[in-house]
Structure 1
Amino acid sequence: MTFTDQMGHQVTLLKSPQRIISLVPSQTELLFDLGLADRIVGVTKFCIHPREQVKQKTIIGGTKNFHLDKIDELNPDLIIGNKEENYQEGIEQLQLKYKVWMSDIYTLDDALEMILQVGQLTGTEAKATELTQNISSCFELLRPAQPSIKTAYFIWRDPFMAVGKQNFIDHMLQQCGFSNVFGNFPRYPEIRPAQLQEADLQLILLSSEPYPFKEKHVQEFRELCPQASIKIVDGEMFSWYGSRLLNAPAYLQQVIEEVLQELS
């Protein structure tokens, strides 16, 4: 069968793949949750869920630094990656030799489509369909903040980097009723302290990943924006677009309610 991935590439599979490499943490977790543990042969060093099972798989490098020799040794019949999380040069090298299916995700609908397509690729359509239906049902119950709350979401420190437009985290912020004050900036802009102070923020969210913000960093932001509520949040719940989305709405609702209580 021939499949068209989310970047428009055509991938032809003559049989159901038996040796799969995943180049993206959230999609690795999805593959396990679809019941494909025995068919996953390689993952990245950032693939941390499910914790015990990924330890048994070969590490093929990072999301932006593939060890091509290790991939060759594994001889995969399907590689699954993502446009944003992986690097173009590495993907192009892999496409010369292997079947590579790429996701490209900006919204919840994109994520649900990816899950369904991965189900089709791997012969796990029934599980994938059930999973997407459950995720959709959970998100339908999410009650966003009203009116919206002026928010900045930070992913890095020194320099400060926030979430801008055209990415999945920005979409998840919108789902929560958190209005991204840097939503007109490039995807992940560097933000100067003066810009932060001028933004007149109500809420600052500090992500647990990729930079591991801790409580000690809260004071740093509080000095810049004393009027804002400042929270450390689970970055996986805002940025992972695989099966972890099943748990995201309950977590996001908790964050929304805590923020509303602090701002009231």
Structure 2
Amino acid sequence: MFIDAIGQSHQPSQDARIISLVPSITELLFDMGLGDQVVGRTVFCVHPKDQVKQIRSIGGTKQVNMDKVKALNATHLIVNVDENPKELVDELAEFIPHIVVTHPNTPSDNIDLFSLIGNIFNKKGEAARLISDFQAALTHAQLTAQGLEEKKVLYFIWKDPWMTVTGETYISQSLRTAHMITQPQSAEVRYPEIDLESGVLDEVDAILFSSEPFLFKQHHLDEFSEEYNIPADKLHIIDGEMTSWYGSRAIEGMRYLAQFAQKLSG
């Protein structure tokens, strides 16, 4: 029996038909050699680019086409606490027998994620390989960070309204691995709107503009610099997949963040 993020038990499955509502886990399934068992995915599941196109899209992470889902006769649905509404998952559970719930909150939680997927879908060897690769990348990031000064950062995920992340999110914990400490550290919600007139722009060492879910580009930074009178060298675009995607992409993500932190430190 293998336990998921909400304490549900799962038995190993030989012939699973899997729907993934989590883009990073869709990529993980392919990287674990399970691509031929994935029968459904969201429109946001874009990796691995060439292979995932062959899998039927059934909608987004918040809404799906129920008729398309039912036609796939899936045995397993993989979801995430943050990305998929409970009401949607409960509705899908009425006709999909096994719901695997994930909820990584720190980079180290990837180890349990690899083990969970590997054990349920009989890919223990692939899981062990990913765990080894991840631990090496995480250690590299931590050792790199030891020689760097901590930086307070504001990490934007959206504009109109401006939104950021708090310290208990996976994104914040990933950045912390490389000595980048997100501000504010706490709020009533995990992804709060932020008042830019509150003084936070002056309190941070760097302002990071993520490439997702809002696709920030250079012209957004230029406009921000002019509107808020912030030096351009304090503003940086950061790859959102490398900070927010858990699963196999987190291996590359740890290496990326180590390099990013070095660049930020000059």
On whether the aligned pair clears a TM of 0.5, the verdict is yes
The reply to whether residue 256 of structure 1 matches residue 255 of structure 2 is: no
249-258 vs 230-239, which moves further: 249-258
C-alpha distance in 2 between matches for 1:193 and 1:35 = 45
Q: CA deviation at 1:242?
A: 0.9
Q: CA deviation at 1:38?
A: 1.0
Q: 1:229 is matched with which residue?
A: 234
20-29 vs 140-149, which moves further: 140-149
Q: CA deviation at 1:84?
A: 0.5
Q: 1:39 is matched with which residue?
A: 37
Q: Is the 8 A contact 2:3 2:116 kept in 1?
A: no
Q: 1:16 is matched with which residue?
A: 14
C-alpha distance in 2 between matches for 1:44 and 1:153 = 26
Instruction: Quickly say closer, same or farther: Cα 1:197–1:108, change in 2 above 3 A.
Output: closer
Q: 2:140 is matched with which residue?
A: 141
| 1:85 equivalent among 83, 86, 103 | 83
Partner AA of 2:7 in structure 1: G
TM-score normalized with structure 2 length: 0.92
Q: Is the 8 A contact 2:162 2:193 kept in 1?
A: yes
C-alpha distance in 1 between matches for 2:125 and 2:113 = 14
| Identity value in percent | 36
Q: CA deviation at 1:168?
A: 0.3
C-alpha distance in 1 between matches for 2:163 and 2:229 = 16
| 1:202 equivalent among 194, 205, 209 | 205
C-alpha distance in 1 between matches for 2:129 and 2:56 = 29
Q: CA deviation at 1:197?
A: 4.5
C-alpha distance in 1 between matches for 2:58 and 2:196 = 38
Q: Is the 8 A contact 2:155 2:210 kept in 1?
A: yes
Q: Is the 8 A contact 2:19 2:39 kept in 1?
A: yes
SS in 2 for 1:226: coil
Q: Is the 8 A contact 1:229 1:259 kept in 2?
A: no
Q: 1:180 is matched with which residue?
A: 182
C-alpha distance in 2 between matches for 1:196 and 1:50 = 41
| 1:25 equivalent among 18, 23, 26 | 23
Q: 2:216 is matched with which residue?
A: 213
C-alpha distance in 2 between matches for 1:222 and 1:136 = 38
Q: CA deviation at 1:198?
A: 5.5
Q: Which runs of 5+ in 2 are unaligned?
A: none
Q: CA deviation at 1:12?
A: 4.3
Q: 1:171 is matched with which residue?
A: 173
C-alpha distance in 2 between matches for 1:34 and 1:196 = 46
TM-score normalized with structure 1 length: 0.93
73-82 vs 4-13, which moves further: 4-13
C-alpha distance in 2 between matches for 1:164 and 1:199 = 18
C-alpha distance in 1 between matches for 2:214 and 2:43 = 16
Runs of 4+ in 1 over 3 A off after TM superposition: 196-199
Partner AA of 2:137 in structure 1: C
Partner AA of 2:248 in structure 1: S
C-alpha distance in 2 between matches for 1:52 and 1:196 = 45
Q: 1:157 is matched with which residue?
A: 159
C-alpha offsets along residues 169-225 of structure 1, whole Å, 9 cap, x if unaligned?
010111110111211223111012202556521101100000000001112332426
Q: Is the 8 A contact 2:212 2:241 kept in 1?
A: yes
Q: Is the 8 A contact 1:152 1:181 kept in 2?
A: yes
C-alpha distance in 1 between matches for 2:199 and 2:19 = 41
